[in-house]
Structure formats: C-alpha cells, structure tokens
Amino acid sequence: MFENLADRLGGVFDRLTRQGALTEADVQTAMREVRTALLEADVSLPVAREFTRAIERKATGQQVTKSVTPGQQVVKIVHDELVRVLGGETDPGPLKIDNPPAPILMVGLQGGGKTTTTAKLARRLKEREGKKVLMASLDTNRPAAMEQLAILGQQIGVDTLPIVPGEDPVAIARRAKTQASLGGYDVYMLDTAGRLHIDEVLIQQAADVRDVVKPRETLLVVDGLTGQVAVEVAKEFDDKIGVSGVVLTRMDGDGRGGAALSMRSVTGKPIRFVGLGEKLDALETFDPERIAGRILG
C-alpha cells in the first residue's frame, strides 16, 4: 500500500533534509514534486493543490527556514497535513453497533469486494469483539452470490440467513431483522445486490431496505485501485442513499492509493477499513496516523 507514493516522497524529503538551510524556493520546488507525486497516485487535483498550498503556507514561515533542522520540520508539517487530509482530526469513533441487534448495510458496485468484506468484517466483530453476527445476502439476481456468502459464513463460523428462493430483498431484510432479534444476535449484516453501474434499480432497492431496517451503519465497499473513480462512486452512493463510512478494498495491490487521500476531503465520509488481500483476515482498521507514517516511511 502506497509504495510508489512513499518512494516518490521519500526522494523529495531526502533532498530537503540534506540541505542545511532552506529558502522559500527550495520549499516551492519540493512542493511541486509532492504535487506531481500525489497526482500520479491519482489524488484528485483540488485535494493535491490544497494539500501542497497548506504545507507551503506553514513551511515558508520564518520559523521553518531559520530552524536548525528545516528539512525535518517540513517533513513534520507534511506528516501533520497527511494525517489531516486522511481524516485524523475527526475520529469517527467505533462502529455504532452497541444496541442489539444492530443492522449494518453493506453497499457497493459488483466486483468491488462487498461480499468478501461482509465476511471479513463479520469475522472481525466475532473474533475481536465477541459479537454474535448474522449475515444475509440480498442479491436475489445472483444466486451464486448468495451461495458465496453462505460458504464464507461456514469458513468463519458465522451464521447466514437460510436462503428462500423467490424472496425479494426487502422480505429478506425483514426476515433477517426478525431472526436477529429472536436469535439473540448482536449484529446483522445485509449484503445488498451489487451492479456494474449505479442505476435506479440498485439505488431504489438499497433505499427500500434502508427504510425497513434503519441501519446503524451503512458501509460502502469500493475498489481502492480505481482511484478517483472510487471517490466519485462514494459521492454518488452517499448522495443517493447516504453512507456512514467507506471500506477501500485491494489496497494490497500496487495501487496508487489516491482514493485514500481524496476520500475524506471530497465526500466528508470516514474510511473505516482497508482490505489487504483475499483472505478473510485481511482487513485492517484505517488509522490516519499509521497510514501517514507508512507514506513517509
């Protein structure tokens, strides 16, 4: 995750920290390189621009250029700005699932990793928080997707709602809610149908389910490799059905990572988790401090 960006920024800051004294021109040159590196990582232009402007403002002050270790100080400013843009100043707190049975609605496009992430998160809630979790697939168009969730459930020892052929998504959601109450579950997760594009049917279905279960969390699962497209998808889902958080998948690849940097500024929504592989334990909480540290090496 972020290897390319980390390499690029590492180079810029190596040069900067080797210099004894810094001029405003040095900082400006470095920030041009930083901006290019961010754009290459597929960070959106306004975010990249605001990012480097904020750093320039802070770094060209007297204090930095006269500091004993000006380069180090610029790196510190960049670190703090990274944490800010990643959402570090406003901690969303834990998932709101304390009042059982708490519904979690999982939404996203087909192929983004929604079903896998549903199982990963269920596993995490079970193993780390001792929650009793029920999962239900609402993807009535794709019986294979419903089967897939049932198989994943078996692998992680998490119950899935039995499949009743011919039932519509809202009816499944109602049954999951009843089952979760009767069965003493802490959380029930609804894996909604994915489609290749955001269309009316998809949105209407998710909205109908939302209105029936009133989810405590609505998590959008989106492929982190798609960069700015992921951010656009998140914006659209949020406008149309409202999301409370984002999960970025495929962050294990050599993806450019721009989605992680643009998401919060553009959508206002926190990234909650990142997917780091196909295995069911490959899900990490998104911690802006740790990610900023990773980017800067």
Sites of contact with ligand GDP (CB under 6 A):
108, 110-116, 194, 249-250, 252, 275-278, 282
Nearer to ligand GDP, 34 or 106 (CB): 106
Q: Kindly tell me which of 88 and 253 has the beta carbon lying closer to ligand GDP.
A: 253
Report the residue number, 103 or 108, with the smaller CB distance to ligand GDP: 108
Helix pair angle (70-85, 258-267), 10° resolution: 60
Q: How far apart are CA 33 and CA 250, in angstroms?
A: 26
- Residue 69 three-state SS: coil
- Residue 91 annotated in ligand binding: no
CA 90 to chain centroid: 15
- The C-alpha atoms of residue 235 and residue 242 are separated, in whole angstroms, by 9
- The answer to whether 62 is annotated as binding is no
For tokens 């959380």, what's the residue? Answer: 187
Find out whether 297 is annotated in a ligand binding site. no
Q: How far is the CB of 45 from ligand GDP (least distance, A)?
A: 27
Q: Binding site annotation covers 211?
A: no
- By CB atoms closer than 10 A (0-12, 13-18, 19+), residue 29 is middle
Minimum CB–partner distance for residue 273 and ligand GDP (Å) = 9
Residue sitting closest to ligand GDP (CB) = 275
| Beta carbon nearer to ligand GDP, 47 or 220 | 220
Q: How far is the CB of 219 from ligand GDP (least distance, A)?
A: 12
Cβ-based nearer residue to ligand GDP, 73 or 115: 115
Is 108 marked within a binding site? Answer: yes
Measured between alpha carbons, how far is 43 from 36 in angstroms, rounded to an integer? Answer: 10
Answer yes or no: is 277 a known binding residue: no
Name the residue type at position 213.
V
* Torsions phi, psi for 249 (to 5 deg): -100, 170
For residues 132 and 54, what is the distance between their CA atoms, to the nearest angstrom? 45
List, as residue ranges, the binding site: 108-115, 191-195, 249-252
List, as residue ranges, the binding site for GTP: 108-115, 191-195, 249-252
